[in-house]
Amino acid sequence: IKQYEQACQRAPKGVAPSKLLPSSRDEIELHEDLVEVCGELLHFRGAGQDFLEDRLFITDRISRLFGCHSECAEGSREKEKASRIVTVMDLRLAFAPCRAVANNGRLSDSPGIGTTDALQLQSLYESLATHETVIAVPNMGRSLAQDSGLVALLFDQSEVISNMVKYPQTHRLIVMHYLEKILFSEHVDQLVQWEFEKTDKLMKQLHTASTQTVREELLARGLCDEESADRLLLQNVAVISPLPVLF
């Protein structure tokens, strides 16, 4: 990323920054801390002509590396096993400040609201009932205002919001916008050129819409007054829009 930023700064007008990026493995500069811990390095490089094509190429190579892709079209188990690279690594623990998992908490993944499987639905409602902090991801990278099903789940079909109102010292809501689909379908050209003006505008719009939706739904259902709603939004509700990874 640092090398790409430097390329953007020194690229002449009309010259794509990608043309100034390393063209061979030997030109790639690795941080000294990374060099100390990494073992064998594998280098995958796309053609540099089409961003999405290169992204799919890298994803495919990583899938093959970790045994998620079969080389054999007819599904031969022996050829599939032969194409896999066994990856072994020591157990690593990473520590970082995170309010959502404070006090020996843990992160749990639950099924989405679109499932029709009875067991998955049961797992979803059990997760909502037993976790103090819930991370809600609106569908298709849109705002909470555009996902009526998620709003109904949080406010009507579970105790997520009511528990947050009753127990503000422990219960929290995180609304996380999944931006990858919408960014790579509508703003991929700007991202490739390292231009974030439209992306920043989109993130602000999503933040405003989701925050306003939580406030309006709290008041419409009579769960609290305006002062309490504003306090909950400030102390118990987080609306975030993390940028997506490349793969």
pLDDT for position 247: 35
pLDDT: is 37 or 107 the higher one?
107
Q: What distance in Å separates the CA atoms of residue 135 and residue 178, rounded to the nearest whole number?
A: 11
pLDDT for 71 beyond 50: no
pLDDT for 135 beyond 50: yes
> Model's pTM, two decimal places?
0.60
Q: How confident is the model at residue 64 (pLDDT cuts 50, 70, 90)?
A: confident
pLDDT digits (tens, 9 = 90+) for 166-210: 999 989 999 998 877 776 666 666 666 667 777 788 889 999 999
Amino acid at 173: L
pLDDT for 76 beyond 80: no
Q: How confident is the model at residue 83 (pLDDT cuts 50, 70, 90)?
A: very low
